[in-house]
Amino acid sequence: MTIAVAPQGSLTSVATVLLPGERPRVDAAGEGLYRTLHRESVMDVLTELRRQRIGAVLLSVTRCAEDDMTQVARIVREFPRIPAVALLSQVEAATAQAVLSLGKSGVRALVDVRQPGGWRELREVLIADRDADIERLALAQLSLDLVGAPDGCWRFFELLFKAPPQVTTVRHLATQLGVLPSTLMSRFFRASLPAPKRYLTLARLTRVARMFENPGLSIANVANHMEYSSPQSFGRHVRSMMRMTALEFRQRYDGEGMLQRFRDELVHPFSDVLRAFSPVSRLPRWARR
């Protein structure tokens, strides 16, 4: 199996609780594939999961005491979309009991790096769930919906789902695409397509719906992750676009359900137009200064 090295900006964040000697080896194993956030306790990792987007949790068997298992079980329960992996690098008297306790707490993946190929297996385990990200699922589905579409059209949809959370407005989107906001909106209007703001909003809400699948993330946590100015602002946004409260939205849509709505509302009815549409062209020199 060949593992592709991801661009620096797309690296998965892995939160860890490791022995000091394990940290540099885990860092080295993941170079170009994931970035590590080393923390001192399972509680610190739980806090980190609420504070920012984390792709996986890595726990040293040796570092996890019996007192930690309640918090480990909480991570597994409240963040089911984030894989928790146990790392075994040495065996002590308490190791067998620790492995059993981690299993009872819900940790299903154990990587023994004492074995040949263990570090390679760790890399594969930690990046395996990247393909389950809603962004990647969305682009996989859209690649089928938009077969034959121009590069500019594909670039627009790719940006909707891969742009950082700071891309919150059509102005931001246009800047990323290298066109003027007025030009971008005009091109959609002339093609009789929904406004680019609608595409951006529903794409962002698709990503929000995926985050909401983790019950450990509150509405305030998700609003913060997605760069809304406040939970209240996020709530008003959901009400204006979806005609429901943020809590109702959370209860009604998961990530795949919201992605299906995005496709049903904004892609399938306009597929013929989109396959011949490109919102991107070069700006005049004065506009690129």
d(CA 289, CA 286): 6
Instruction: Tell me if residue 1 falls in helix, strand or coil.
Output: coil
What is the second-level CATH architecture of the domain 8-131? Answer: 3-Layer(aba) Sandwich (3.40)
Instruction: Tell me if residue 25 falls in helix, strand or coil.
Output: helix
pTM of the model: 0.72
Residue 239 — pLDDT band, cuts 50, 70, 90? very high
Does 287 have pLDDT greater than 60? no
d(CA 5, CA 180): 33
Does 284 have pLDDT greater than 50? no
Looking at every residue in the chain, the average pLDDT score rounds to 88
* 49-85 per-position pLDDT tens digit: 998 889 899 999 999 989 999 999 999 999 988 899 9
Average pLDDT over residues 268-278: 95
Instruction: Tell me if residue 158 falls in helix, strand or coil.
Output: helix
Domain spans of the chain? Answer: 8-131, 134-288
* 103-130 per-position pLDDT tens digit: 999 998 999 999 888 998 998 888 765 5
Instruction: Tell me if residue 93 falls in helix, strand or coil.
Output: coil
d(CA 280, CA 154): 10
Q: What pLDDT shows up at residue 2?
A: 41
C-beta neighbour count of 177 within 10 angstroms: 21
Average pLDDT over residues 195-217: 94
| C-beta separation of 261 from 253 below 8 A | yes
Does 198 have pLDDT greater than 80? yes
* 125-163 per-position pLDDT tens digit: 887 655 457 888 898 899 999 999 998 999 999 999 988
Looking at domain 134-288, which of 1.10.10.60, 2.40.40.20, 3.40.50.280, 1.10.3720.10 is its CATH number?
1.10.10.60
